Amino acid sequence: MRDKENISGRQLTLLLFTFIIATGTLFVPSIVVQNAKQDGWISVLLGGIPGVIVVLIVTELGLRHPGDSLMEYSKTILGKWPGKVIGLVYVVFYIHITSIIVREISSTVQGILLPKSRLEVITIVIFIGVGYSVNRGLETITRANVLNLMVTFLAIFIVFALLIKDMDPELLTPVLAQGIGPVLKDSISPVGWFCEAVSIAFIMPFINKPNETRRCAIIGVIWATVTLTFMAALVIMIFGPELTSIIRFPTYRAVRYINVREYIQRVEITFLIPWIISNYIKMGFFYYISVLITSKWFNIEKTKTLVVPVGLVIFSLSLTLFDNSVDLSLFLGQVWGLYAIPIELGIPIFLLAIDFIRKKEKGSG
């Protein structure tokens, strides 16, 4: 890790897009049809709105405290020890969320590609590569992501082109037949994914043109929202809401469904390669933030010294958090949003409100 990273607004846009859709592509479609049924795609669309709100809030805080990340300005706004408590919440949260991401990827790789391999072995192999990337720094991760998205867009285009004949738009109707309630209920988990945009609060000082952060981040969130909405609608149009709700990895199953006159089959590799790379990028980014904010909380100047210790904690948690993939799926569908939203959205709102009140009182005084 370098002491001073530097990324562009365009790289931030692409990074946001990747880390929002990476795991969401596989897990979101089955989550949003549990109650909303054929309206699940609307749940995804609505879930993107809080993501934009998070961007507006954290970029406002970043501009009000130039050069500081959330770890620093939380102490400025609240005082040293309350600010340290907020910082500790994020340290624990990011180590936890990174562990969940690692478990998502390792469980998926095991379930789809390597069913006979031990989860521990898969996780170790993943960590070797991700740890190296984190050690190289944020710039390396963002540059790799630019190359990755070229492959990702090509894969999405190929999948859409080959599946279009199998899509049945009638499966998306009737719209809002059960009202808005089920749609809002199923939007809670996607909100947790979109509000991961709070991560820019920790890397905003590294963006070479801070004034462009808000615009670039909003573009990234909206782009991810449209993409995930499209993927959810695609799966529903292939399988219908009832089947989608019980299929494990429905997006992957939809790609396996491709069969063009028996000449084009088993094209899931076009989906799996960019998916694995995208999740590699997401793991690296969240691992990087975990190390970065841990070093800031403990006031450790040489951030690199924490790559291995923090990695070992993440590795251990990823293997012990869930007994099996069913527990993981239940957590993502029923707990994830309720757990993440107060931290990703609630705390930034609180910080901005207190900062606004303090500066208003100071100005009037």
**What are the Cα distances from residue 12, in Å, to 9, 95, 167, 184, 314?**
5, 21, 33, 29, 25
Q: What's 286's domain CATH number?
A: 1.20.1740.10
Q: What are phi and psi of 259, to 5 degrees?
A: -155, 105
Strands 259-260 and 264-265: antiparallel
Q: Domain containing 89: what range?
A: 9-356
Give the whole-angstrom CA distance, residue 144 versus residue 274. Answer: 12
Q: Is 22 exposed, middle or buried (0-12, 13-18, 19+ CB in 10 A)?
A: buried
- C-beta atoms surrounding 35 within 10 Å: 18
Asked, for residue 263, whether it belongs to a domain, the answer is yes
Q: What is the pTM of this model?
A: 0.94
Domain-embedded: residue 362: no
Asked if the structure places residue 97 within a domain, the reply is yes
- Residue 265, φ and ψ in degrees, nearest 5: -140, 165
Tens-digit pLDDT profile for residues 311-357: 999 999 999 999 988 899 899 999 999 999 999 999 999 999 999 99
> Is-contact 47 187, C-beta < 8 A?
yes
Asked whether residue 364 is assigned to any structural domain, the reply reads no
Q: How far is CA 174 from CA 45, 115, 177, 328, in A?
A: 17, 39, 6, 31
Q: What is the mean pLDDT of residues 99-123?
A: 90
Q: Name, in order, each residue with C-beta under 8 angstroms of 323's C-beta and a sequence gap of 6 or more.
A: none
- For residues 357 and 341, give the distance between their C-alpha atoms in angstroms, rounded to a whole number: 23
Asked if residue 247 is part of any domain, the answer here is: yes
The most confident of 173-177, 255-259, 271-275, by mean pLDDT: 173-177
- Within a domain: 361: no
**Rounded alpha-carbon distances, angstroms, from residue 26 to 23, 30, 32, 68:** 6, 8, 12, 35
Q: What is the mean pLDDT of the chain?
A: 91
Q: Give me the helices (H) in 197-299, please.
A: 200-203, 213-246, 250-256, 269-297
* Bridge partner residues of 260 (DSSP): 264
Give the amino acid at 129.
G
pLDDT band at 261 (very low <50, low <70, confident <90, very high): low
Encode pLDDT of 214-240 as tens digits.
999 999 999 999 999 999 999 999 999
User: Token digits for 237?
Assistant: 């149009």
3-class SS of residue 113 = coil
pLDDT at 271: 78
Q: What is the mean pLDDT of residues 142-154?
A: 87
Residue 128 has pLDDT above 90, yes or no: no
d(CA 101, CA 18): 13
Does residue 2 belong to any structural domain of this protein?
A: no
Residues 339-362, buried b or exposed e (16+ Cβ, 10 A)? bbbebbbebbebbbeebeeeeeee
Domain count, the chain: 1
For residue 190, cis peptide bond before it (omega within 30 degrees of 0): no
Distance (Å, rounded) from C-alpha 304 to C-alpha 295?
9
- DSSP-derived secondary structure letter, 260: E
pLDDT at position 365 is 55
On whether residue 363 sits in a domain, the answer given is no
Residues 77 and 354: beta-carbon distance below 8 Å: yes
